[in-house]
C-alpha cells in the first residue's frame, strides 16, 4: 500500500480485496489469540480504507488509452 497510484490498484475490486484481506487476517490473528498482531493488521486495514477509498483520486489515463476512436 505504499503507492496508491500504482496501476495495479486502478480497478476498484483490487482495492476492496486488499483491504478485506487485511481485516480477514486481523480476525484470524484475533481468533488465534494474538491481540497485538490483530491490532496491527486491523490498523493496516484502516489505513487502506483511508488511502484507497477516502483520499483516493484516480490518475488521469493517458490520451488514446480510453478507447476513444472518434478522431479517426
Q: Where does the pLDDT of residue 32 fall: very low under 50, low under 70, confident under 90, or very high at 90 and above?
A: very high
Cα gap 10→49, rounded to integer Å:
15
Only one residue has cell 475490486, namely 13
**What is residue 70's DSSP assignment?**
T
Helices 35-49 and 12-31 pack at an angle, to 10 degrees, of 160
pLDDT, tens digit, 9 for 90 and up, residues 3-14? 778 888 899 999
Q: Are 16 and 36 in contact (CB under 8 A)?
A: no
Q: Note the pTM of the prediction, 2 decimals.
A: 0.75
Distance, CA of 18 to chain centre: 5
pLDDT, tens digit, 9 for 90 and up, residues 33-48? 999 999 999 999 999 9
Amino acid at each position: 500500500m505504499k503507492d496508491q497510484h500504482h496501476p495495479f490498484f486502478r480497478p476498484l475490486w483490487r482495492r476492496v480485496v486488499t483491504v478485506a484481506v487485511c481485516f480477514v487476517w486481523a480476525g484470524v490473528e484475533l481468533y488465534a489469540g494474538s491481540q497485538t498482531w490483530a491490532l496491527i493488521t486491523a490498523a493496516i486495514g484502516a489505513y487502506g480504507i483511508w488511502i484507497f477509498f477516502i483520499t483516493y483520486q484516480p490518475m488521469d489515463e493517458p490520451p488514446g488509452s480510453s478507447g476513444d476512436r472518434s478522431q479517426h
